[in-house]
């Protein structure tokens, strides 16, 4: 099976006020004192109240789990030492007031000049899964095939229902926020890797994006690693849910890798239908109906079962089937992160939500 790596983004929050805490550099420095954290495993992000971790390349889900637990624990401990907490939610639940300062990096300052209000509202946390592919040519074919399943994964991973102190009505408000950037949403269908590269060069030469890091598609080729990078997931409340998604995404890529050698062309659904599918997933998560890859509405759990059926042979081949299906059953029983945030809000208000999204920072 292909190797896999996971990146997670966390916001730093003042537990007393619920406001974001611009302590990113101090937290990174404190994490650097940990004896078991490498320098490149903890990185700054766009806002000074945000931090990102990245696992090493992993061959098994046990490795993914071990690294995520280690990194979550280290960052949570460093944040606590600076008087703040890490928040494992796609968006901050409480109202934030003044904008959070932007990290002092040239590309981040350029983004703020380009789109100041979008940057001010970029208080979002995602989970990115990298899966190795043998070449860019194969990677583009895989992108063309996995794009059909991105809405289903978005619905399953929804963990951002609240914004500025109220329920948005969306399960993944982070998805809606990200879709406002000029290059975002489900990636288009590409003819081949030359087409992919040509279209990216056009975006760069037109000045629409300043670098390939601003390709905010829900899936893309990584420019730093020989991987396909899936980016549609909100950061997860529980480490085990993150591990489950790492297994599902790897199985999806493996499934589509096996199809790249066939003569079958990747499906090309109408762009407006794909956009509607993603909107529906962000709106309802698993609490309503989803639009499946054939364009039909069906109960969300039926869509999840169809996705699981699609990737099951690859899960079996990797030896991940038992673990992933058990974790998926637990997710369907307990609900998504969005469901759990809403339950906390109903039971104890915003304070209970803050406890939920900060109290699980170092938990499995």
**206 burial class (0-12, 13-18, 19+ CB within 10 angstroms)?**
exposed
The per-residue pLDDT for 263 is: 65
CA distance linking residue 250 with residue 86, whole number of Å: 27
Q: 262 pLDDT band (50/70/90 cuts)?
A: low
CA distance linking residue 334 with residue 337, whole number of Å: 9
Query: How confident is the model over 2-20, as pLDDT tens digits?
Result: 999 999 999 999 988 889 9
Mean pLDDT of the chain: 93
Cβ atoms of 152 and 307 within 8 Å: the answer is yes
The per-residue pLDDT for 324 is: 98
Cβ atoms of 281 and 41 within 8 Å: the answer is no
Stated as kind and residue range, the H or E segment containing 329 is helix 321-334
Q: Which residue's structure tokens are 């104890």?
A: 348
- The residues, ordered by sequence, that sit 6+ positions from 147 with a Cβ below 8 Å of its Cβ are 186, 187, 189, 218, 219, 274
- Which domains, from first to last, does the chain contain? 4-347 (3.30.590.20)
Query: How confident is the model over 175-206, as pLDDT tens digits?
Result: 999 999 999 999 999 999 999 999 999 999 99
Residues belonging to the chain:
364
CA distance linking residue 324 with residue 307, whole number of Å: 13
First to last CA, the chain: 25
The per-residue pLDDT for 357 is: 95
Query: How confident is the model over 69-78, as pLDDT tens digits?
Result: 999 999 999 9
Q: Rounded to 5 degrees, what angle do the CA atoms 319, 239, 242 make?
A: 60
Q: 340: which 2 tokens? A: 């759990």
| CA dist 290 → 281, 284, 293 (Å) | 6, 8, 10
CA distance linking residue 246 with residue 242, whole number of Å: 6
Cβ atoms of 269 and 284 within 8 Å: the answer is no
Q: 294 pLDDT band (50/70/90 cuts)?
A: confident
Q: 312: which 2 tokens? A: 């099951």
Q: 256: which 2 tokens? A: 């589509």
The per-residue pLDDT for 364 is: 37
Query: How confident is the model over 17-68, as pLDDT tens digits?
Result: 889 999 999 999 998 777 788 878 999 999 999 999 999 999 999 999 999 9
Region 110-136: what's the mean pLDDT? 95
* Portion of the chain with pLDDT greater than 90, in percent: 85
């Amino acid at each position: 099976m292909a190797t896999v790596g996971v990146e997670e983004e966390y916001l730093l929050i003042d537990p007393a006020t619920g406001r974001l805490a611009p302590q990113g550099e101090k937290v990174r420095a404190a994490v650097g004192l940990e004896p078991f954290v490498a320098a490149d495993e903890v990185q700054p992000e766009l806002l000074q109240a945000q931090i990102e971790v990245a696992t090493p390349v992993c061959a098994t889900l046990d490795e993914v789990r071990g690294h995520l637990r280690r990194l979550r624990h280290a960052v949570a401990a460093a944040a606590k030492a600076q008087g703040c907490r890490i928040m494992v939610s796609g968006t901050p639940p409480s109202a934030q007031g003044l904008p959070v300062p932007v990290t002092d990096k040239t590309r981040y300052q350029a983004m703020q000049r380009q789109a100041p209000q979008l940057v001010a509202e970029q208080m979002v946390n995602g989970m990115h899964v990298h899966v190795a592919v043998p070449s860019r040519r194969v990677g583009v074919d895989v992108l063309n095939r996995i794009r059909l399943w991105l809405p289903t994964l978005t619905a399953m991973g929804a963990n951002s229902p609240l914004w500025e102190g109220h329920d948005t009505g969306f399960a993944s408000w982070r998805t809606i926020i990200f879709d406002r950037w000029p290059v975002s949403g489900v990636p288009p269908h590409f003819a081949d890797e030359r087409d992919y590269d040509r279209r990216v060069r056009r975006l760069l030469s037109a000045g629409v994006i300043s670098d390939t890091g601003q390709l905010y598609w829900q899936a893309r080729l990584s420019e730093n690693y020989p991987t396909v990078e899936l980016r549609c997931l909100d950061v997860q409340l529980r480490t085990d849910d993150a591990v489950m998604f790492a297994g599902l995404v790897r199985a999806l890529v493996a499934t589509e890798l096996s199809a790249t050698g066939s003569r079958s062309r990747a499906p090309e659904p109408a762009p407006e239908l794909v956009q509607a599918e993603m909107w529906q997933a962000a709106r309802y998560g698993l609490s309503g109906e989803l639009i499946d890859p054939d364009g039909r509405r069906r109960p969300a759990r039926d869509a999840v079962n169809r996705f699981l059926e699609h990737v099951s042979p690859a899960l079996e081949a990797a030896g991940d089937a038992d673990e992933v299906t058990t974790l998926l059953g637990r997710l369907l029983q307990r609900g998504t992160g969005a469901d759990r945030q809403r339950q906390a809000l109903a039971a104890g208000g915003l304070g209970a939500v803050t406890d939920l999204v900060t109290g699980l920072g170092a938990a499995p």
